[in-house]
Chain A
Amino acid sequence: MSTPQVMKKEYNMHLDFSLPLGKAYTKWMQALKEKKILGNTCGKCGRIFVPAKPFCEICFEEPREWVELDGRGIVESFTVCFEKFRNCPDPPYVVGIIRIGDAATCMTHFIGGLAYQRPEEIPGQIRIGMAVEPVWAEDRTGDPLDIAYFRPVK
């Protein structure tokens, strides 16, 4: 019987977690169920956070005032993924860094609703600074994925 020079052993880690979201994130997620994008505002510096934050990291204060935004945003940056990675969506897919309204923060989300024949055409369909709006998922559970994706505003 021949012995391999070195052996390799395969293993994996299927681990489950349950993440408490706290009050601010919970309120923000619950609003998504109702197709609303909320932000909360720091009483000291006035910055609006979308997604909402439990505290302003600069002033170290709890943002107490909540505002509802119309959901429109602009693309601050983006990428188009052409490769298949495990546990990640099938390519091509577009992920954008999206600033909702006048928020001081951005959301990471999918960009969709693009017209293209070949995947190589996708980067040309998106522009940094482009206006986008949310397309809501049918089934909403209080999760960022209640927004199916953002699409260019026509």
Chain B
Amino acid sequence: MEKKAAVIGIGYTTYCSNRKETRSKADLAYEAVRNALDMVGLSIGDIDASVYTSVDGFEATVRPARMLEAFGQGLNIPLVDVNTGGSAGGSGFKEAVHMIEAGLHDIVLLYGAPTFNNVVDNQQVLNTASPPVFEKPFGIGAVHMGAFYAARYMREHGIEEYDYARVASKNHRAAVKNPHAHLRHGFSPEEVLESPMVTWPIRLYECCPTSSGAVAMILASGGRAKELCDTPVWVRAISSIADTFLSGFKVYRDFDKLKILAKKVYEKAGIRNPLKDFDVAELFNPFAPFELMEYDALGFCEEGKSVSLLRDGVTEIDGELPVNMSGGVVCTNSGISSAVNRHAEIALQLMGKAEGRQVKSPEVGLAHSWGGNMGQFHTLAVLTL
């Protein structure tokens, strides 16, 4: 068994507002897995192992182990549950890769569940992710955590509200071309600035929506990947990093842990100049300002110069390194699914199957995910043709 792992199949459902959702969790899982299998021409019986991802306690409905049979549970294969908050999709991808690289399995199914698609008030649910007693009583959900970063980053680097609106608009414009995106309004920076303030300095159109939808991916070992797929997308390097649960250790100046992770992953992947070496990137940006902090942490620019990349159009579809041509998390956030989506999008881009959002002939891509209380976890994967 060859130890290299590749992505060979991607299956999406459509994405919509959680309020408008009519499909059950099982419907969504079936649709995503069915689409992934069909892309490769496999049947559920061909799967050797499944990885699904969840966040403990979020409405109890993200425990697919209890209620879904779309992952081949009936077929006596191993099932692994990975939980690292919002980044569980990235960690699940990593687990699937390791299963193959270890020579344990040839064909692995990864499912990105819709984590909070049945909530009535998402921030109420996200508030339960905060440390009880010490932080939960202060009424913080994810959107507050995002604001701590956005406020400090502004102050550190003289970034203006307009810059945050502009990076949000870049994502909204890109989402118009992505049939799998939830918000496809194409808001201009001015429209973003006119949207209501939610948690200063983050405005409504700089926040991800609560979406419903799911994604499945099929990964395979080297030999099988080449047999089953004309354009397998290889995993060149992958890793993750963790931080403490209590947010007090952070001063929210930047994504310092991501910087450390990037150094390690780039070394493994032989990336010397990320801006030149990557052809496409999908970065986890549930709040638009995160994308700028990620440019910094990932070494796309000199520290604090992220806005100049934006101003110069470097990260637009025709720029040197297009970022979040899917419209990013800021336009579609179905919980854990959105961390898997970053990897699915890069795989589709490298396969040349990204439809209207296709970047010109990319060969090396970067997928990132972020999650946990105040962003405890990051994952990074370098994918290549």
Contact = CB atoms under 8 A, between A and B. Distances in A.
B270 interface: no
Contact of B199 (A82, A128, A145): A82
A85 B124 contact: yes
B148 A143 contact: no
B139 A95 contact: yes
A79 B144 contact: yes
Interface residues of A, number: 40
A13 interface: yes
Interface string A104-148: 111111100000000010110000100000000000000111000
Contacts of B247: 97, 106, 108
Interface stretch (B1-9, B92-100, B127-135): B127-135
Interface centre among B60, B198, B246, B248 (most CB of A within 10 A): B248
Contacts of A143: 133
Interface in A79-112: 79-83, 85-89, 93, 95, 97, 99, 104-110
Contacts of B248: 50-51, 97, 105-108
**Which of A50, A77, A82, A145 has the most chain B CB within a 10 Å cutoff?**
A77
A128 B155 contact: yes
Given A13-B60, A76-B251, A87-B127, A82 B198 contact: yes
Interface string B171-207: 0000000000000000000000000111111100000
B354 interface: no
A79 B199 contact: yes
B67 interface: no
A114 to B, nearest CB: 13
Contacts of B139: 81, 85, 87-89, 93, 95
B22 interface: yes
B251 to A, nearest CB: 5
Contacts of A107: 134, 248
Contacts of A77: 148-149, 151-152, 251-252
Given A79-B200, A83-B198, A51 B134 contact: yes
A78 interface: yes
B134 A95 contact: no
Contact of A79 (B121, B151, B250): B151
A81 B196 contact: no
Contacts of A80: 197, 199-200
B50 to A, nearest CB: 27
Given A108-B247, A144-B133, 7 more contacts: A51-B246, A78-B148, A83-B198, A87-B124, A88-B124, A108-B134, A128-B155
* Interchain residue pairs A-B with the least CB separation, the first 3: A79-B147, A88-B139, A86-B124
25 contacts: A13-B59, A19-B132, A57-B244, A76-B252, A77-B149, A77-B152, A78-B148, A78-B151, A79-B148, A79-B199, A79-B200, A81-B199, A82-B199, A83-B143, A83-B198, A86-B123, A87-B124, A88-B141, A104-B249, A106-B247, A106-B248, A106-B249, A107-B134, A108-B247, A110-B138
